[in-house]
Amino acid sequence: MCVEVETPWGKPSSPITISSLPDGSQVAFISRHGAAHTITPSEVPARANIAALKHLGVRAVVAFSAVGSLREEIAPGHFVIPDQIIDRTKGIRPDTYFRGEGLVVHSMFGEPFSRQLNRFIAPKVKEILDKEGVSVHTDKTVVCMEGPAFSTRAESLMYRQWGGDIINMSVIPEAKLARECELDYALICTATDYDAWRTDAEPVTVEEVVKTLHTNAGNSRAVAAGILEDVCKHVAAGELTEIKGSMQFACVTRKDVQPKAAREKLSFILPYFSD
């Protein structure tokens, strides 16, 4: 079943497909860049995407992303489940639900991914990909760049010095917005290339990325199919607890001076703003 959701932040990037698993659990799928991949990373309506998922009753998000590798040991074709983010976007993308609303809200973001969700999915992903001889790396740092151009060699080398392990153009603002919506968020990455840091090789090209993406597609589908029921079971059992309620006291503006229009708008994603 496909549903169209209109949010206070506009329409999502694609219709949302809702499917039932064999155990009866329901999952929702949204195409980040549009059904025909027509939306650039800077133009993804991330606020609408995350808000629509939250409004439909989604409680945890497992996102997939192609990434460039900043480490020799993370070869094209390998999978990575990161636990930290370095934000190198440039303020082009709306990255919060609270800017310009007449109130101040601070979300915790020291651990940008759901540690509990990562602990649940990492062993399962490794189990699935071990059968295919594919390596899985965990506890890595993803750099999120603005794009759409790839890194210069100097930038790529700098990201390595900063402690970056992989690089993409998508995790910000997704992870921040998921946190503001109290959604547990995890990212499963597929390495497609070595970015531009290898001085003895040519920098990454679109052709190289697309070729590896096609190779990785089957493994990504196998991972998605293999983890969904487990994730749903953990959610249904109430085992994802570290994000729940984290926004309840995040607003530092007194309720009596919070604009009514802002409260009505934000109640779409957070019950704390409902009157």
Q: How sure is the predictor about 120, in pLDDT bands with cuts at 50, 70 and 90?
A: very high
Check residue 211 and give its pLDDT.
72
Assess if residue 196 is contained within a domain.
yes
**79-88 and 136-145 beta bridge pairing:** parallel
Catalytic residue of the set 23, 193, 230, 256? 193
Check residue 108 and give its pLDDT.
96
Assess if residue 19 is contained within a domain.
no
Is 19 assigned a ligand-binding role in the annotation?
no
Q: Burial of 48 by CB count in 10 Å (0-12 exposed, 13-18 middle, 19+ buried)?
A: buried
Alpha carbon distance 184, 235 (integer Å): 10
pLDDT for 207-239, tens place per residue? 776 777 777 888 999 999 999 999 999 999 999
- What domain count does the chain have? 1
pLDDT for 145-189, tens place per residue? 999 999 999 999 999 999 999 999 999 999 999 999 999 999 999
Assess if residue 17 is contained within a domain.
no
Catalytic residue of the set 87, 195, 230, 256? 195
Check residue 204 and give its pLDDT.
67
Higher pLDDT, 211 or 87: 87
Q: C-alpha angle 99/100/102, rounded to 5°?
A: 105
Assess if residue 204 is contained within a domain.
yes
Structural domain harbouring 145: 64-274
Assess if residue 14 is contained within a domain.
no
CATH of residue 131's domain is 3.40.50.1580
Assess if residue 47 is contained within a domain.
no
Which DSSP string corresponds to 222-252? HHHHHHHHHHHHHHHTT---SSTTTTTT-B-
Is 7 assigned a ligand-binding role in the annotation?
yes
Alpha carbon distance 18, 53 (integer Å): 10
Check residue 160 and give its pLDDT.
98
Is 114 assigned a ligand-binding role in the annotation?
no
Q: Quick check: is 195 catalytic?
A: yes
Best CA proximity match to 59, nearest among 222, 227, 239: 239
Q: C-alpha angle 69/119/172, rounded to 5°?
A: 45
Is 107 assigned a ligand-binding role in the annotation?
no
Assess if residue 262 is contained within a domain.
yes
Best CA proximity match to 206, nearest among 150, 155, 168, 165: 150
Q: Quick check: is 193 catalytic?
A: yes
Alpha carbon distance 249, 107 (integer Å): 9
